[in-house]
Amino acid sequence: VQLQASGGGLVQPGGSLTLSCAVSGFPVDDDAIGWFRQAPGKEREAVSYISTAGSSSLYYHDSVKGRFTISRDRSKNAILLRMDSLKPEDTAVYYCARARGLLGRRWVLEDMYDAWGQGTLVTVSS
């Protein structure tokens, strides 16, 4: 099982980026995936979550609701995180992780994930 996050970069405030979490070792339809981020000097926090294809549950941190969209790209066996209206406070290293089953409200808990990708850095600055 491997997850690989990519797509980070430098973007101006108000801009957009799409992160990709490429999955290998299992079909992206079959497992729930979460996105987390860690800003400099802060603890890692949960950003978004997508359940299995059969459950279709989506969750977002309050600070990104209406700006971020999580989705599944079956052609690439990947989970995407579309980020619009980016703010300087969105600057962080972003990680994706595979959940231990369907999490519901526990989606924010790091211990509920058993495989992590390396991070991709997103910098929002003018």
Instruction: Average the pLDDT over 31-37 and give the result.
Output: 96
pLDDT of 53 > 90? The answer is: no
Strand partners, 116: 97
Q: Three-state SS for 82?
A: strand
Pairwise pLDDT comparison (7 vs 30), residue with the higher score: 7
pLDDT of 37 > 90? The answer is: yes
DSSP 8-state assignment for residue 12: -
pLDDT tens column, 74-117? 999 999 999 999 999 999 999 999 999 889 899 999 999 999 99
Give Cα separations from 66 to 17, 27, 85, 87, 126 (angstroms). Answer: 15, 28, 9, 13, 22
